[in-house]
Amino acid sequence: MNYRVQLNTDSQLFTVVDKYNKNVFANGITIEEAVEKFKRI
């Protein structure tokens, strides 16, 4: 599984985005939460 992690400093949310498909992503308050949500997609 290849993904990137981004932090939106305005909303303080982490976003995990699929490296090959930017339309597949998940948000979370922590990196762990965002990754866990991403894995469930």
39: which residues sit within 8 A by CB, 6+ positions away?
Answer: 1
The span from the CA of 35 to the CA of 15, in Å, is 8
At 1 the pLDDT is 82
At 25 the pLDDT is 98
Residue whose entry in the numeric block shows the structure tokens 């339309």: 23
Cβ–Cβ < 8 Å for 28, 13: yes
At 9 the pLDDT is 97
Q: What is the pLDDT along the chain (41 residues), one digit of tens a residue?
A: 899 999 999 999 999 999 999 999 999 999 999 999 999 99
H-type alpha helices, the chain: 31-40
The span from the CA of 10 to the CA of 7, in Å, is 9
